[in-house]
């Protein structure tokens, strides 16, 4: 069972809509503000009721539409408890389960390192990794409580503990890739495979990446679910 994968070419962000077979309920993960109408059109076209809006973390490169999706559909907003998003209805913790539709479940896994609060979500044989594990890469660790040590432990200790055939759906891709698997990333991920923890930390500390252009706008907005005055 695959999610519906949608793309924002401006920030190279993936948004996912999850729904079970013959189901009427859906969950959306990491929606982007300027695709609100596109995302609502998909949900309407499929005759779905949006149950939850999930964020993997507070994004620095785009603004979420979570608050506006809540206003338009009544969906419950759910965010990692360590991300500092007080208006969200659900503050998720490691080990939580989100239930929707006809027996669908999403397991919440704390995978810090890109940000301190970052979560990954497991649904059926899929994992939505946010900016922890990317296809042939990983998220940066140099702001928002980022930690190369924590990210290495999250990827190798938590995500790589999932079944090898688990499909990996990241929050971003910059090379036109769409999906991978845990087994493939274990063997081939350019940042992590065959690299010691110390080597990974050394690599991440010397990436010298530019500051994200939108960070000063996006982070405060996302702490308020993308709304000017809360929900
Ligand atoms: Fe991010």
Closest CA to 222 of 107, 68, 108: 68
pLDDT for 156-180, tens place per residue? 999 999 999 999 999 999 999 999 9
217 located within any domain: no
- What distance in angstroms lies between residue 114's CA and the mean position of ligand 1's atoms? 7
Cβ neighbours of residue 46 under 8 Å, at least 6 residues apart?
A: 19, 26
Give the dihedral of Cα atoms 220, 225, 229, 231; nearest 10 deg.
-160
Is residue 215 domain-resident? no
Q: Which pLDDT value is given to residue 230?
A: 46
Judge whether 51 lies within some domain: yes
Tally the domains of the chain.
1
Q: Binning pLDDT at 50, 70 and 90, where does residue 231 land?
A: very low
Cα(45) to ligand 1 centroid in Å equals 29
If you measure from the C-alpha of residue 144 to the centroid of ligand 1, how many angstroms do you get, rounded to a whole number? Answer: 9
Give residue 166 CA to ligand 1 midpoint distance, Å. Answer: 22
Question: How many Å lie between the centroid of ligand 1 and the Cα of residue 13?
Answer: 9
Q: What are phi and psi of 59, to 5 degrees?
A: -80, 145
Residue 1 banded pLDDT, cuts 50, 70, 90: confident
Q: Ligand 1 mean position to 102 CA, how many Å? A: 31
For ligand 1, the distance from its centroid to the CA atom of residue 227, given in whole angstroms, is 19
Against a cut of 0.95, is the pTM above it?
yes
Asked if residue 231 is part of any domain, the answer here is no
Ligand 1 centroid vs 172 CA: distance in angstroms? 8
CA of 24 to the centre of ligand 1 (A): 30
Q: Considering the domain boundaries, does residue 85 fall inside one?
A: yes
Domain of 128: which CATH number?
3.60.15.10
CA of 171 to the centre of ligand 1 (A): 8
* Mean pLDDT in residue range 189-216: 95
pLDDT of residue 29: 99
Q: Is residue 226 part of a domain?
A: no
Which residues does residue 32 pair with via DSSP β-bridges, in sequence order? 64
Establish if 120 belongs to a structural domain.
yes
Name the residue range of residue 70's domain.
4-210
């Amino acid at each position: 069972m695959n999610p519906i994968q949608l793309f924002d070419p401006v920030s190279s962000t993936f948004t996912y809509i999850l729904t079970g077979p013959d189901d009427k309920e859906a969950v959306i993960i990491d929606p982007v503000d300027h695709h609100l109408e596109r995302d609502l059109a998909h949900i309407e076209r499929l005759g779905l009721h949006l149950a939850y809006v999930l964020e993997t973390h507070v994004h620095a490169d785009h603004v979420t539409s979570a608050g506006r999706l809540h206003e338009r559909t009544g969906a419950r907003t759910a965010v990692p408890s360590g991300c500092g998003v007080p208006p969200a209805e659900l503050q998720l913790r490691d080990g939580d389960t989100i239930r929707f539709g006809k027996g669908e479940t999403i397991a919440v896994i704390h995978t810090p390192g890109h940000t301190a609060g970052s979560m990954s979500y497991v649904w059926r044989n899929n994992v939505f990794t946010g900016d922890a594990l990317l296809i042939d890469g990983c998220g940066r660790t140099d702001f928002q409580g980022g930690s190369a040590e924590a990210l290495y432990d999250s990827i190798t200790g938590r995500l790589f503990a999932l079944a090898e055939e688990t499909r990996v759906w990241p929050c971003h891709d910059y090379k036109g890739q769409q999906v991978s698997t845990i087994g493939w990333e274990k063997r081939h991920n350019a940042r992590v495979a065959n690299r010691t923890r110390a080597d990974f930390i050394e690599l991440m500390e010397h990436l010298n990446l530019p500051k994200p252009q939108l960070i000063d706008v996006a982070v405060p907005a996302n702490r308020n679910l993308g709304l000017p005055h809360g929900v």
